[in-house]
Structure 1
């Protein structure tokens, strides 16, 4: 039975990664119509086209006994998004820096506050955030919903500060709201100090708590619709536009992945909360303290395993 599950799993994996590589090659090598040029130019173009290589496929997942994907991540939590059932866990209660994955909680507090079409006027203090930012300018105004989309797609820290200050009056007051909402979601092993996940003494969460927070976010229609966006166009107050690509690379790798949020700091390592859905099943995977590009492979492997397991299996790391 185990070998059958593993063969079926790898069959799904190889098919989807092959399709991904094919699509990437097509995008890179697709010709564009241009005016006729000299034979020398044509020759150079042919030589350039000939050098286009198919992207290397992601590494295949490894397995634990029972067909569960193996991972070198520091902590992992896999749950059924509908029931909250734990499907797999590894160091799930270990306190860790959550990095930008906690922006999912920031977004949830903002979304549940409503009035998302109301404008926010940017203050100078909102812009004091590094390193990832949209370079918002003090005095400019944006709708809450537009900043919320940018927050979850591209993860800018200045946007997180603006949303937090606007919603609660200050970043400090917003942190109180974050902690209250986390407790309401069942996350009792976390403490949040800022809205963006930048390192702060005493700020921590766990894979289990982030899974509970993610489940609450997954149940929110606004959050769920935004985290599934592969990209978006952000319009600045002066009319300029900028295309923002989702930082979650699993969205492009697996057709059934529908969110959720990435994170990285030196202290936290690479982190990812991801979700996926098939008829009758919705799952959430939290991976903390990993490395790139392996985090994409392992997260995709856990999503695939959780959705295709038959009969349902629950696992704890040996």
Structure 2
């Protein structure tokens, strides 16, 4: 399925989040998850896939078991009803304790949530002020219907611009441009796979740097949470994933000045939508949607001193914003259950970190096997200025509404064709 497209912001106009905004003020549509049509012959729909009998036990034995895993203490709230995701996990972002999970090691298509691993791998390499002139070859090889931020060849962008394009609009054109800067797509994929192994993310096999559907490309709710937790150590990563709206460079005008256009984050727990409000205390991280993956989402939120990570993969209920709704329910439960559940496992630390609750030892056999086939988190994560939720000002909304009539060439058509893949 296609990817929604748009543009990212210039450093001077990035708008970060402060307080909850009414969903009535938000105008961008959410990219829907994949819908499944009835068979043309009138027969029965294929049976829903079931998790494998044997899954990885990185992080704890219970995490390798199928079905829901939770250990409630007396007086603990029950898990939310109607959680339809094939796989989900909720954990403490700082300690790594897993509070509850369902099939967290099930290897599934990740969609654009894989961009968290891309960012964790490539983001530290280039200063945000560095500039780059895009070559035609840089934008070659993107999947049909890819989500785009609106990058154009022969124009120059800062690294800051490009990363806003990755996080806000899930722009595969931004990913491919940064990959070109990093030595090419093939080299970047190899580095991402190596980084996954360093993080003990043994369920992940990388084929594309942008998460576009590809045979054999898989990750898991557990691994996506590892990528988010590692990335959130980086203040630039935190800035980009918590930015609700920004300005992105456009074409050069006849007067010699560069135009800009507005972009809004497609993470609907951050920016909201007509049928869902921003989640209080949300701070990112990344969403996705493709044919194979359905809807995927990893988010981090903070209430008081409590910081939680939630990953949801492929809700069976194909409702608008369903992945966000189920993630919000898990956040609500996790904050209410503080101190009332025993962990069922842990998010392990990277190889060599040796300072956390990691359930896998440094020489974990599964991790080593992944390293063979593929050929620190050093302290608590601190949210940068994230105590409340996102504010999208009415003036920004008016700006976006006007900008929709002045998108880059072909953007409106791409947006219609690519509404479902992020």
Gaps of 5+ in 2: 1-18, 28-69, 253-257, 273-277, 345-422
Summarize the alignment of residues 51-66 of structure 1 with structure 2, pairs less than 5 Å apart: 66=77
Greater radius of gyration (CA) = 1
**What's the C-alpha RMSD, in Å, of the aligned pairs?**
2.2
SS at match of 2:214: coil
Partner of 2:269 in structure 1?
250
- Consecutive unaligned residues in structure 1, runs of 5 or more: 1-18, 29-63
Partner-residue secondary structure (3-state), 2:149: coil
- Aligned partners of 1:237 and 1:184: how far apart in 2? 40
Q: Deviations over 1:206-228 (max 9, x none)?
A: 11111111110122111111111
Q: 2-side partners of 1:84 and 1:123: how far apart?
A: 42
Alignment of 1:216-295 (within 5 A): 216-236=230-250, 238=252, 239-251=258-270, 252=272, 253-290=278-315, 291=318, 292-295=320-323
Q: Secondary structure at the match of 1:262?
A: strand
CA contact (8 A) 1:97 1:204 kept: yes
Q: Deviations over 1:117-144 (max 9, x none)?
A: 2112212133233321133222211111
CA contact (8 A) 1:107 1:152 kept: no
Counterpart CA distance in 2 for 1:234 and 1:145 is: 10
User: What are the Cα deviations for residues 62-120 of structure 1, in whole angstroms up to 9, with x where unaligned?
Assistant: xx995112310111011111011111111111110000001111122222214222112
> What is the aligned length?
261
**Scaled by the length of structure 1, what TM-score is found?**
0.76
Retained in 1: the 8 A contact 2:133–2:153?
yes
Given that residues 149 and 170 in structure 2 are in contact (C-alpha distance below 8 angstroms), is that contact kept between their aligned partners in structure 1?
no
Who is 1:205 aligned against? Answer: 219
Which residue of structure 2 aligns with residue 83 of structure 1?
95
Q: Note if 1:119 corresponds to 2:138.
A: no
Matches within 5 A, 1:2-151: 23-25=22-24, 66-70=77-81, 71-128=83-140, 129=142, 130-151=145-166
Q: Which runs of 4+ in 1 moved over 4 A?
A: 25-28
Q: Are residues 95 and 24 of structure 1, via their aligned partners in 2, closer, same or farther at CA, if it must alter by over 3 Å?
A: closer
Instruction: Measure, in 2, the Cα distance between the counterparts of 1:242 and 1:117.
Output: 20
Tell me: higher relative CO, structure 1 or 2? Use CA pairs within 8 A at least 6 residues apart: 2
For structure 1, which segment, 275-284 or 120-129, has the greater mean C-alpha deviation from structure 2 after superposition?
A: 120-129
CA distance in 1, matches of 2:268, 2:99: 23
Distance 1:106 1:246 in 2: 18
Q: 3-state DSSP class of the match of 1:230? A: strand
The structure in which a higher percent of residues are helix is 1
Q: When the two structures are superposed, what TM-score results if normalisation uses the length of structure 2?
A: 0.58
Structure 2: distance between partners of 1:260 and 1:306: 17
Native 8 Å contact 2:97 2:343 kept in 1: no
TM-superposed CA distance for 1:26, in Å, is 6.8
Cα distance, 1:27–1:306 mapped onto 2, change above 3 Å: closer
Q: Residue 199 of structure 1: CA displacement?
A: 1.0
